[in-house]
Amino acid sequence: MSSSFSRRALLKGAALGGLATTGALSGCASGPPPGTATWSMWSSSPEENRVWADFGRYVERRMHIRSASTLTPSDSYPTKLDLQLVSGTAGMVTALNGWLIPTYASRGAHRPLDDLIAADPDFDLDDFYPAIRSISSFAGHTYAIGFDVAPTVLYYNRTLLERNGVDPPSPTEPMSWDTFRDLAVELSEPKDQYGFTCAPSIDDLVSWIYCAGGDVVDGDRGTSPLDAPEALEAIHYVVDLFVKDRATPPIDNLAQSASGAALANFLQGNVAFMQNGPWQVLNVREAPFTWDVVPFPAGPAGSTPRVSGSSFAIPSGVRGDDLELAWRLLKTLTSTGALDIYARAGRNNPARLSAASAFEPPPANLGIVQRILKGEVAGGHPFNVTTNWNRVRLLLGQDLPRAFLGQVSVRDAIDGVMPRLNALMRQHRDAVRQAA
């Protein structure tokens, strides 16, 4: 009896202990103490983690307070950020990919920074490249401060070109589309060697559309010019490289991340040219061949590929003393000193002109990135997106790849998406008007 009683008592005790532990653990999950500088960022590799840890130490050194960053893999970052914003658990400063800024701004998830900028004589917005200022704005207001910005460039495999007796392209003068196509076709011999790689997605296609003088978004007119002759010419050009010229590695599946698949192809060493941004420089440095970057090929409207960037913003829920702290934190995270750390690690071109010198070779021609942004060489086009770009991207991501696979003609693919695309453009127009 006594042994039965003690066993039962033990079991009861275990059950009660479990409940108490659960309660205690849930009580502990209350977040960092007040006055901590909290910020959110995406990070998908140990190298990136190290950069953000350095940022955290820099913040603590400069602000003399504790820094607490929440790092999330880039694929799941937007969803996690959404949930944090809704539940009021987001950091007082959150990193935003430039193409998501109109999405968050139009929904009131982040606050405009104009009042904070105007009240702070120490903050020099002119030290940021105009492209990132444009990307970080919505409806005439600044919603974020950039930390990186860069145009899409053309990577080339110098070893492969030399092996095929082809001179490297000019480091400053963009190739014409005709020249580029001829080279891509010529370098697609012998078997298993390819002239060019890019992702069969709107993210990459849009650079060619800009170079042809077209666009996906036309202000807030409520219609998309994707079926205009300029855009169609660009789409035909790229699709032909895939389908007619067979100058690109075959598409294996449609689920790989856009730039990831192109990078993987290029790193194999059997692809002559890759369309990508300087944010891949760090990864391409691992390549077992010599390479460099040159300006993007010039179409009928010149060399004006997509210019993308990322920024830090303050959620709308941050108020009072926290707002003052958040602004100090945002300024520190985007200061020349912080961006020096970022650029020196090779992550990407910094958004500040005063930090530009920290983004150094290799490759030898890396300086072209800043010259393009300053308008000294070639050109660029800020990534023009809508307040519902997620949906636009999804729609085009579903239907355009069929053209790249040769399953449907470009005309049919575009005609198929236009009604739904225009519906999204009308939704965007309404959102912009409502925000204004």
Partner 1 sequence: MAVETPTAATEAPRRGPRGPLRRPRLRRHGSETVAAWLFLLPSLVGFLVFTAGPVVAAGVISLLDWNLFSPPHFIGLDNFARLGPDTTFWSALGNTAYFTFVSVPLTLLVSLGLAVLLNQGLRRMAVFRSLLLLPYATITVAVAFVWVWLYIPHDGLINAVLGAFGIDGPAWLISDDWAMPALILMSVWKSFGFGMVIFLAGLQAIPQQLYEAARVDGASPWRTFRAVTLPLLSPSVFFTVITSIIGSFQVFDQALVMTDGGPGTSTTTLVMYIYRTGFQNYEQGYAAAQSMVLFAFIVVITAAQFLLQRRLVHYDL
- Per CB under 8 A, residues contacting partner 1 are 8, 11-12, 15-16, 18-19, 22, 78-79, 82, 85-86, 103-104, 107-109, 250-255, 316, 388, 390-391, 394, 397-399, 401-402, 405, 407
H or E segment to which residue 68 belongs: strand 67-72
Query: Residue 261 Cβ, how far from partner 1 at the closest point, in Å?
Result: 11
DSSP annotation string for 265-330: HHHTT-EEEEEE-GGGHHHHTT-SS-EEEEPPPBBTTBS--EEEEEEEE-BTT--HHHHHHHHHHH
**With respect to partner 1, which residue has the nearer C-beta, 76 or 179?**
76
Q: Which is nearer to partner 1, 110 or 331 (CB)?
A: 110
> 364 or 394: whose CB is closer to partner 1?
394
| Complex with partner 1: residue 16 or 118, whichever CB lies closer | 16
Between 268 and 354, CB nearer to partner 1: 268
The distance of closest approach from Cβ of residue 260 to partner 1 in the complex, given in angstroms and rounded to an integer, is 12
Q: What's the min distance (Å) between Cβ of 190 and partner 1? A: 16
Give min distance, CB of 15 to partner 1, in A: 4
Q: How many Cβ atoms from other residues are within 10 Å of residue 272's Cβ?
A: 26
Select from 245, 277, 239 the least CA-distant residue to 258.
277
* Cβ contact 215:384 at 8 Å: yes
Of residues 402 and 426, the one with the C-beta less far from partner 1:
402
Tell the smallest beta-carbon distance from residue 390 to partner 1 (Å).
4
What is the rounded distance in angstroms from the CA atom of residue 201 to the CA atom of residue 393? Answer: 8
Report the greatest alpha carbon distance in the chain: 94
- Cβ 245 vs Cβ 184: under 8 Å: yes
Chain-centre distance for alpha carbon 55: 19
Helix (H, G, I), strand (E, B) or coil at 142: strand
For the chain, what's the residue count? Answer: 436
Least Å distance, CB 407 to partner 1, is: 7
Give the three-class secondary structure for 235: helix
Least distance to partner 1 from the beta carbon of 393, Å? 8
- Closest to partner 1 by CB, 260 vs 300, is 260
Query: 16 or 364: whose CB is closer to partner 1?
Result: 16
Residue 265 — φ and ψ, nearest 5°?
Answer: -60, -45
- Crossing angle between the packed helical segments 389-399 and 410-435, to the nearest 10 degrees: 170
